[in-house]
Chains A and B, each alone.
Chain A
Amino acid sequence: MKVAVVGAGPAGVRAVERLVAAGLSPVWIDEAPDGGGRIYQRPPPGVNRDARTLYGFEARRATALHTALDALKPRSDWRPETLVWHIRPEARQLHTLHRGRQAGVDYDAAILCTGAMDRVIPVPGWTRPGVTTLGAAQIALKTQGCGIGGRVVFLGTGPLLWLVAYQYAKAGAEVAAVLDTTPFATKARATPGLLRGGATFVKGLYYIAWLRRRGIRIAEGIAPLAIEGDAGGVTGVAWRDASGREHRVACDAAGMGWGLKPEAQLADLARVPFRHDPLQANWVPERDAAGRTPVRGIYLAGDGAGIGGAEVAEIAGARAALALLEDAGHRVDPIETVPLDRKLAAQARFRAALERAFPFPSHLARGIADDTILCRCEGLRTGELRAAARAEAATGPAPEMNRAKAFTRVGMGRCQGRVCGVAAAEVLAAELGCDVTAIGRLRGQPPVKPIPIPAAGDAP
């Protein structure tokens, strides 16, 4: 039986671990030069930092995951630096690219553990050099020992906002301000549910308290106005507080993000249906609690299957592998699956509280000014999408995302709408006066990431 696993983050590692334990040797692919995924990404060779400074409270988990990863490489068909750029479920084949070389990988069953990326809301000035996602700010520090600037503002909402601000301050960067668009009261209301999170919740409180103790400027319930700058880059961030007063703080870089969204393009190409999850405010691929999708042979685990965080990713990876084994006729003892199912259910309750504590502020996305760049790949301004939405537009109205894309090029650029897709859907929905679910989502297209042209042409 030919099994392929895409992704070597927490979900992929634990999936491969179960497959190998059952005597299989899956093809295991990751685009990165090494495994670890986002949270436990390893720095490149030559950058020497110990697990404690790299991963903080997560050091033990990181080391355990890396140990498992390294032990599994020789026991699987490990293919790092390899992008899966297409999947054809009817042929049961993955198309891969490794250092300019194409290959086709046949599979009977595949587990897609493709992770997530930051969800962003365009803010005036967000395309300036010096503005990155929150995740990017963390990657710079974690894998390169660098801050995105010397004096940094963190803007957005969610656990990553506070974590990255803490990590920067701890590493000796000057944190000019932490600007959370979620009001304090919203977070406080979610506290009872967050208590289920145990250590995760306590760590979150610790980061926030630590930042406050340091006297770092913190503002909650704010609306961002602009990331200001000049030819040299970022010079400051301006915002409006809950009472309507405007503020600005000087800085030379800004990290921003509003939670995460699944990197689910491969699931989409595999024709897994999607549904809109109102709590996460994300489109997520359909799967059961064990990771089975309606498409035979396709399983999903980790943040690519809906945002759950690193702990959930590990459990879900293992669970999806067991589901795959079960479906393939292996004997799987419920003694293995039942505890995993129980943990996943408990974590889902915590996750729901977390989403309520840091809800996606769709009103901010809907209110983006007309002259703010919406799609950074195509240089498209928000007003152009609004104009296309209207019935009197020369093209006729664009009542859903893919028509809007055809008319305006929104989401058609090099990132394929990964960055602007969420905000664009909110803008379109607001203009049409409908719910964001009625707008649909940008459909995935192969290649999932730009690849050299000759490689795309000559199919394997």
Chain B
Amino acid sequence: MKLTRLRDASRPRISLTLDGTPIEAQQGDTLLTALLAGGAGHLRESEFGDGPRAGFCLMGACQDCWVVVEGMGRVRACATLAGQGMKVRRG
């Protein structure tokens, strides 16, 4: 899944990492936006082996977007703002 930036796409840049790989994002991005606009493709693997997942509701209800942030633990990527230097692991 690749989010496409359509509007207000020239905000100050921030960088974070996903499983060690650098991701370029923008200030005001949620983690979900930062990762999926930054080319991550997906956020986690289904624990039932049915493939990758990348969130569904974007409103904090479905819990399909869990990732792990160093120092914060498990968070919903859609309900957490991306921050400079965040170290993220797939959930």
Task: Tell me the A residues contacting B by CB distance below 8 Å.
Answer: 31-32, 38, 43-49, 53, 117-118, 127-133, 135-136, 139-141, 143-150, 171-173, 232-234, 252-253, 263, 373, 376-379, 413-415, 418-419, 449-450, 452
Q: Which residues of A contact B36 (CB under 8 A)?
A: 129
A-B contact pairs, 13 of them (CB 8 A): A129-B1, A130-B1, A135-B57, A136-B55, A139-B58, A143-B30, A144-B3, A144-B29, A146-B6, A147-B4, A171-B7, A173-B4, A449-B61
Contact A46 B30 (CB under 8 A): no
Q: Which residues of B contact A135 (CB under 8 A)?
A: 57-59
B42-77 CB mask vs A (1 if < 8 Å, else 0) is 110011111111111111111110100000011000
Shortest C-beta distance, A222 to chain B (Å), equals 22
Q: How far is the CA of A129 from the CA of B37 in the complex (A)?
A: 12
**Residue B41 is within 8 A (CB to CB) of chain A in the complex:** yes
Contact A450 B63 (CB under 8 A): yes
Contact B3 A127 (CB under 8 A): no
Q: How far is the CA of A143 from the CA of B29 in the complex (A)?
A: 9
Q: Which residues of A contact B29 (CB under 8 A)?
A: 144
Shortest C-beta distance, B34 to chain A (Å), equals 10
Contact B6 A172 (CB under 8 A): yes
Contact B48 A132 (CB under 8 A): no
Q: Which residues of A contact B62 (CB under 8 A)?
A: 376, 414-415, 418-419
Contact A452 B28 (CB under 8 A): no
Query: Known interface pairs A146-B37, A150-B2. Does A132 touch B11 (Cβ–Cβ under 8 Å)?
Result: no
B48 closest partner in A (C-beta): A379
Task: Tell me the B residues contacting A by CB distance below 8 Å.
Answer: 1-9, 11-12, 26-30, 33, 36-37, 41-43, 46-64, 66, 73-74, 78-79, 81
Q: Which residues of B contact A132 (CB under 8 A)?
A: 55-58
Contact B47 A44 (CB under 8 A): no
Shortest C-beta distance, B3 to chain A (Å), equals 4
Contact A133 B30 (CB under 8 A): no
Q: Which residues of B contact A146 (CB under 8 A)?
A: 3-6, 33, 37
Contact A129 B42 (CB under 8 A): yes
Contact A147 B59 (CB under 8 A): no
Q: Which residues of B contact A145 (CB under 8 A)?
A: 5-9
Q: How far is the CA of A419 from the CA of B57 in the complex (A)?
A: 9
Enumerate the 5 nearest inter-chain pairs by beta-carbon distance, A residue then B residue, closest first: A379-B48, A46-B28, A129-B54, A136-B58, A129-B1
Q: How far is the CA of A49 from the CA of B8 in the complex (A)?
A: 7
Q: List 7 additional contacts besides A48-B11, A49-B8, A379-B48; criterion CB under 8 Å.
A: A32-B60, A43-B28, A130-B54, A131-B56, A414-B64, A449-B61, A449-B63
Q: How far is the CA of A133 from the CA of B60 in the complex (A)?
A: 12
Q: How far is the CA of A143 from the CA of B8 in the complex (A)?
A: 10
Q: Which residues of A contact B81 (CB under 8 A)?
A: 44
Of B27, B50, B58, B66, the residue contacting A46 (CB under 8 A) is: B27
Q: How far is the CA of A150 from the CA of B1 in the complex (A)?
A: 10
Q: How far is the CA of A38 from the CA of B58 in the complex (A)?
A: 11
Q: How far is the CA of A44 from the CA of B50 in the complex (A)?
A: 33
Q: Which residues of B contact A449 (CB under 8 A)?
A: 60-61, 63
Q: Which residues of A contact B11 (CB under 8 A)?
A: 46-48
